Structure 1
Amino acid sequence: MSAAASSSSTQALEFGVPGVQETRPGCLPRLRRLVNVPGCEPDRVNDLLLLSPSESHGSCGTDTESSENCNSHVVFFPGDIQNFQQDMALQPDGAQWLSWSLELVALTLARRFPNRHIWVIRASRMYLHKFSCYHNFVESNLFGAPEHSTDYGAFRHLRALLSNGMEQAGLSNLLPPKGVGDRVAPGFTLAVVGFSKGCVVLNQMVYELAMTRADPELGPFVECLSDMYWLDGGHPGGSETWVTDKRALGELAASRVAVHVHVTPYEVRDPMRAWVGREHGRFVKKLEELGARLSQKLHFEDEPASIENHFRIIQDF
């Protein structure tokens, strides 16, 4: 792996990864690390990884070419342990899971979602180097267990992160910054994917849907949300692993966002955390009753529950 700083806030990272095709010799996929990207408030910042469409296929096209080809975006919220590769390699608990680093997951997602900009949002805090905390998106304790509300600002923060991240990366005119009114560039679409702990952000978004859809500034951005993917959601709290509030789920169904639910026995069949499976069942059943655009799948059903299969859902969904 080599890294070269292109500015004080952006780094270009190059990886040779088995299975990633190169269109020309010596042209490797390039992930841009955007450091300390500001969000909706001065004290809310996150590090991002960006992999643009032409780059995800090994093309050496320019940033301008990438932004002109496509204005569809996928945002991924990782789970515990997952961090930048160089940071994971230094931690005993992280080194064994290097194949699920943020960089390698970005490349996996690029194959799953071709011709889209892939954004990976690093948790702003990693307690004990392994417990991801998304307190910029949802009120959380040190271990990342959430306390949901209807107005914390998850959508507002995401919009600001994407707008400022696009500006840093040279993807101009895709999502104007706050204060420009309700403008969203033509063709802009957004899908959000949460894995494990990262699903707490999607849950928070569900609670905020009613308010944000009615907001003159955020409404047009939220209307561009096409898909939400829950991948084996879980967190250390004793409840609210899945949204079960009927009013919040009614708003999700009414939004016509496509809801994709992918789980493994590791989360939904753990007898020590039986509430996770019960909440998952209530989440799915209520959305079905409400006529939501819902798809669901239990992966690795005939295999023993394992953390390995928990991670594998990132490749299998």
Structure 2
Amino acid sequence: PGADPQRSNELLLLAAETAGGGPERRALSGERAKEEPQPAPQHHVLYFPGDVQNYHEIMTRHPENYQWENWSLENVATILAHRFPNSYIWVIKCSRMHLHKFSCYDNFVKSNMFGAPEHNTDFGAFKHLYMLLVNAFNLSQNSLLSRKNVKDLNKDSRASNCRSSSSHTTNGCQGEKERTCEKSDESTVSFYPPSLNGASFTLIGFSKGCVVLNQLLFELKEAKKDKNIDAFIKSIRTMYWLDGGHSGGSNTWVTYPEVLKEFAQTDIIVHTHVTPYQVCDPMRSWIGKEHKKFVQILGDFGMQVTSQIHFAKEAPSIENHFRVHEVF
């Protein structure tokens, strides 16, 4: 659950093998080090998936979605772990899937039956996300520590040597069965449970998942008035829009200058990665136009933003739409 007990989302966590394992920590962990170093501030990647993406076991049983099983929640988490080494990967599942196909982020933005958004400035997406993380961090700390044997955390505060793990934090979604996935190998690594203290964040939306990032922009001005959420906003380093799209007839990309001006006042770095599947679709020509306007306005406001189109010389395809995960 987030701030409202009635709003809950399932989260899948792929824990970092060497969380906070930057150069500074490695330099201190030699044989001559007199004291075991404290973990460096953690980095967390928050990923919002698109339509049809689900747990691997569900996708393989679906008569249509099985063909996209390579892009299941677990597989994408693994891709992101390679893309962002030493980071905690959080996959935030939508709360509803219409017809087992259309992802609907009802807890983050007012949505129609198929998950197309109706953006406003006070839905509470930032508050929900922040509290969702607070609750998930607490749950995952207990879960991961118990799996790694608390006895290994000795009184000298030495980090336990644990097997790398992938754990699954389930936060509700009424009527959905709890599922647990775990991977381990025989190598031992330093392990620290997730922590918000000093943490930094990367936010990634793919396809339909971009509606969450868009809603956060609409709420930015009001959300800053809450000191805890303002601190969370300041800890967001980067945001990635990966080939955003939904079934609505507009607002695939945020193009309101007043909203983007507020966004440009943050220190967040923006990356957009698109494919012809979305931005070159003649039946949905507004998507490409809105994307171009989004990038242009942010640039005009002096924001650091990069834009890249992938597979530009290839025919638009859903496969290349998904493959943006591998090339961004």
TM-score using structure 1 length: 0.79
Please state how far the C-alpha of 1:252 moved relative to its aligned partner. Answer: 1.0
Q: Using the alignment, how far apart are the partners of 1:236 and 1:47 within structure 2? A: 23
Q: What residue number does 1:243 align with? A: 254
Post-superposition CA distance 1:26-45 (Å, at most 9, x none): xxxxxxxxxxxx11101101
Q: What residue number does 2:130 align with? A: 159
Please state how far the C-alpha of 1:239 moved relative to its aligned partner. Answer: 0.4
Q: Using the alignment, how far apart are the partners of 1:200 and 1:313 within structure 2? A: 17
Q: Is the 8 A contact 1:242 1:279 kept in 2?
A: yes
Please state how far the C-alpha of 1:282 moved relative to its aligned partner. Answer: 0.7
Please state how far the C-alpha of 1:214 moved relative to its aligned partner. Answer: 2.5
Q: Which amino acid aligns with 1:283?
A: F
Q: Which amino acid aligns with 2:110?
A: E
Q: What residue number does 1:181 align with? A: none
Q: Is the 8 A contact 2:269 2:303 kept in 1?
A: yes
Q: What residue number does 1:50 align with? A: 13
Q: Which amino acid aligns with 2:82?
A: R
Q: Is the 8 A contact 1:74 1:190 kept in 2?
A: yes
Q: How does 1:203-222 map to 2 (within 5 A)?
A: 203-222=214-233
Percent of residue pairs bearing the same amino acid type: 52
Q: Is the 8 A contact 1:213 1:223 kept in 2?
A: no
Kindly indicate whether residue 52 of structure 2 is the aligned counterpart of residue 81 of structure 1. yes
> Runs of 4 or more off by more than 4 Å in structure 1?
none
Higher RCO structure, 1 or 2 (CA under 8 Å, sep 6+): 2
Q: Is the 8 A contact 2:12 2:91 kept in 1?
A: yes
Please state how far the C-alpha of 1:68 moved relative to its aligned partner. Answer: 3.8
Q: Using the alignment, how far apart are the partners of 1:256 and 1:269 within structure 2? A: 30
Please state how far the C-alpha of 1:52 moved relative to its aligned partner. Answer: 1.2
Please state how far the C-alpha of 1:296 moved relative to its aligned partner. Answer: 1.0
Kindly indicate whether residue 298 of structure 2 is the aligned counterpart of residue 287 of structure 1. yes
Other structure's SS at 2:136 match: helix
Q: Is the 8 A contact 2:41 2:197 kept in 1?
A: no
Task: Name the stretch that deviates more: 215-224 or 269-278.
Answer: 215-224
After superposition, the CA RMSD in angstroms is 1.8
Q: How does 1:65-80 map to 2 (within 5 A)?
A: 68=39, 70-80=41-51
Q: Is the 8 A contact 1:253 1:292 kept in 2?
A: yes
Q: What residue number does 1:26 align with? A: none
Q: Is the 8 A contact 1:188 1:224 kept in 2?
A: yes
Kindly indicate whether residue 233 of structure 2 is the aligned counterpart of residue 233 of structure 1. no
Other structure's SS at 1:255 match: coil
Q: Which amino acid aligns with 1:49?
A: L
Q: Which amino acid aligns with 1:164?
A: N
Q: Using the alignment, how far apart are the partners of 2:99 and 2:236 within structure 1? A: 34
Q: What residue number does 2:4 align with? A: 41
Q: Using the alignment, how far apart are the partners of 1:280 and 1:259 within structure 2? A: 13
Q: Using the alignment, how far apart are the partners of 1:186 and 1:276 within structure 2? A: 38
Q: Using the alignment, how far apart are the partners of 1:295 and 1:278 within structure 2? A: 16
Q: Using the alignment, how far apart are the partners of 2:250 and 2:68 within structure 1? A: 27
Task: Name the stretch that deviates more: 195-204 or 147-156.
Answer: 147-156
Please state how far the C-alpha of 1:216 moved relative to its aligned partner. Answer: 2.1
Please state how far the C-alpha of 1:160 moved relative to its aligned partner. Answer: 1.0
Q: Using the alignment, how far apart are the partners of 2:128 and 2:55 within structure 1? A: 21
Q: Which amino acid aligns with 1:253?
A: A
Q: What residue number does 1:34 align with? A: none
Residues paired across the two proteins, number: 260
Q: What residue number does 2:191 align with? A: none
Q: How does 1:115-264 map to 2 (within 5 A)?
A: 115-170=86-141, 185-264=196-275
Q: Which has the higher strand share?
A: 1
Q: Which amino acid aligns with 2:3?
A: C
Gaps of 5+ in 2: 20-35, 144-194
Q: Is the 8 A contact 1:287 1:294 kept in 2?
A: yes
Q: Which amino acid aligns with 2:15?
A: S
Other structure's SS at 1:235 match: coil
Kindly indicate whether residue 325 of structure 2 is the aligned counterpart of residue 314 of structure 1. yes
TM-score using structure 2 length: 0.76
Q: What residue number does 1:109 align with? A: 80
Q: Using the alignment, how far apart are the partners of 1:99 and 1:193 within structure 2? A: 18
Q: Using the alignment, how far apart are the partners of 1:251 and 1:140 within structure 2? A: 24
Please state how far the C-alpha of 1:135 moved relative to its aligned partner. Answer: 0.7
Q: Using the alignment, how far apart are the partners of 2:226 and 2:196 within structure 1? A: 18
Post-superposition CA distance 1:266-302 (Å, at most 9, x none): 0000000001111111101101111101111011111
Q: Using the alignment, how far apart are the partners of 2:221 and 2:142 within structure 1? A: 30
Post-superposition CA distance 1:198-245 (Å, at most 9, x none): 000000001111111222231111111111100000000000000001
Q: How does 1:260-275 map to 2 (within 5 A)?
A: 260-275=271-286
Q: Is the 8 A contact 1:53 1:70 kept in 2?
A: no
Q: Which amino acid aligns with 2:241?
A: W
Please state how far the C-alpha of 1:69 moved relative to its aligned partner. Answer: 5.5
